[in-house]
Structure 1
Amino acid sequence: MLIDAHCHLDFPDFDADREAVIARARAEGVGHFVVPGTTRKRWPDVLALGERDDVSVCLGLHPYFMDEHHDADLEALEEALDANPGVVAVGECGIDARIEKSWNAQWHTFDAQLRIAKARQLPVVIHCVQANDKVAKRLRQLDLPVGGLIHAFAGSPEQAQKFLDLGFVLGLGGAVTHDRAKRLHRAVKSLPDDGYVLETDSPDMPLAGHQGQRNEPVNVAEVCRVVAEIRDQSSERVAADSTATARRLFPLLV
């Protein structure tokens, strides 16, 4: 069985055919989906999906949407986590260095969510774009008890090892399917068998050859095939290893 460890099934992109999207994925062996939160207003839709047996959910404030976040949302996050003990992680949170205007606000919101996760001994799901070294440094300072997931990892083998040493695992998605991602391929090849999970980031992060198209959880099967090719392993082995790691990382109901 495969697990899509990061997909935004709550997004409006799937409103017209969400059940068909899930059915297509299940037909290709994808048996479970982890759906992260991005903004406070989307949490109810995320939690509604979490009522399904094949979906686990996270709650967080995504750095891409800083214009929508307020300090009151951090208190609301704590209240939502306390009211919904089935939430498996804090996230999606993190740093996106491409958005320079909100740099300071991103760090404020990210740091607060890390502390919330630490207080509740929950893993964190981290969006980290062009900030691997700075994020790793902050994680080392905070010493989170249960680690988490570096979503959509696209760094070097050395950066990968820093996160692994901190108790984190790496999310491998559409980026690995692009031939030009040579540095990432070296990192993927260097990972231990329990150092990664597979994901799609649906509806975003399209796979090679599918640019401009909506991504879907069914494509985690293709991510699995490519990762297996890079690692010189069978797809069955990669699927089993990534699923075992996802189960270890999140208390999934599967």
Structure 2
Amino acid sequence: MALFDSHCHFDFDAFAADRAQVWARCQALGMQGLIIPGVSIPQWRNLFALVHSEPGWFGAVGVHPWWVAELALAPSDVGRAVIERVTHERKRGAGPSRCIAVGECGLDANIDTPLAQQLPVFEAQLCAAQELSLPVIVHCVRCHGEVQRVLKNIRPQKGGVIHAFSGSREIAEEYIKLGFTLGVGGTITYQRAAKTRKTLAEVPLDKLLLESDAPDMPHAGRQGERNSPEYLPAVAQTLAELRGIPVDTVIAQTGNNARALFGI
């Protein structure tokens, strides 16, 4: 079974002490790859140093909404910085680039940084993705309407993924119409997430990706613990049960979806 974790912050300090051991356990479970998203400009250098240390790891270049307040650059300069880093990674080494997306970027209504400050940074990264012909990893918390309006105005030709999707069937279908897939993570392990569980049981399987969001997004029964990519099989199993299909089908299709979206 070719598990693929489409969103894992494996470069974070939470994994500094045992990253190699965690990855070994992931491989033993059948995981063949994971994507490490960008969150801030100072992080990108170390992120790609880590990515190039393992053949199954890939990276993205982005500024996460939580880090927007720390920016010393104008939004247009953020877009240029994204393009420059991606271009640098594309020239690195003899094989295909290990930089496969722009993101994690988007909008978050749960933080102190005003949406008006987040918005131009998000738009600049979408424009960079258009210029680079790369998919986008989108962070959206409590602002689906705003994010969908932006994506209708600046629509990356390669689409992307709505990370940690949570919402109704109608919201999901609107993203799919815009050319986006939906990231499925630990949220579906909670019985109380009834609306999201119902939505992800019904939308086409070829529009879904599995993701851990480790070390965040702990599963039901693991609250307060570090989340880990090695727990991704539990997400796959839950999704299979919700859809009434074999878990092998979920793993195979979502893995194929990730590789097709990100050109891996």
Q: TM-score, normalised by structure 1?
A: 0.96
Deviation of 1:143 after TM superposition, in Å, equals: 2.5
Higher mean displacement: 154-163 or 78-87: 78-87
Alignment partner of 2:149 out of 129, 137, 154: 137
SS in 2 for 1:101: coil
Aligned to 1:19: 20
Aligned to 1:66: 68
Aligned to 1:77: 82
Alignment partner of 1:201 out of 213, 219, 222: 213
Alignment partner of 1:239 out of 251, 254, 257: 251
Code of the residue aligned with 2:119 in structure 1: it is: W
Gaps of 5+ in 2: 91-96
Instruction: Provide the aligned C-alpha RMSD in A.
Output: 1.1
Deviation of 1:233 after TM superposition, in Å, equals: 0.8
2-side partners of 1:200 and 1:48: how far apart? 21
2-side partners of 1:113 and 1:23: how far apart? 34
Aligned to 2:93: none
Q: Is the aligned partner of 1:184 residue 2:196? A: yes
Sequence identity of aligned pairs in percent? Answer: 38
1-side partners of 2:78 and 2:121: how far apart? 10
Q: Is the aligned partner of 1:39 residue 2:51? A: no
Q: TM-score, normalised by structure 2?
A: 0.93
1-side partners of 2:79 and 2:17: how far apart? 31
Cα-to-partner distance string for 1:140-195 (whole Å, 9 max, x where unaligned): 12222110010000111110000001110000001011000000011101110201
Gaps of 5+ in 1: none
Deviation of 1:108 after TM superposition, in Å, equals: 1.0
Code of the residue aligned with 1:180 in structure 2: it is: R
Code of the residue aligned with 1:21 in structure 2: it is: V
Q: Aligned pair in 2 of structure 1 residues 230, 133: CA closer, same or farther (>3 Å)?
A: same
Q: Is the aligned partner of 1:6 residue 2:11? A: no
Q: Is the 8 A contact 2:68 2:113 kept in 1?
A: no
Code of the residue aligned with 2:55 in structure 1: it is: D
1-side partners of 2:260 and 2:113: how far apart? 37
Code of the residue aligned with 1:198 in structure 2: it is: L
Aligned length: 252
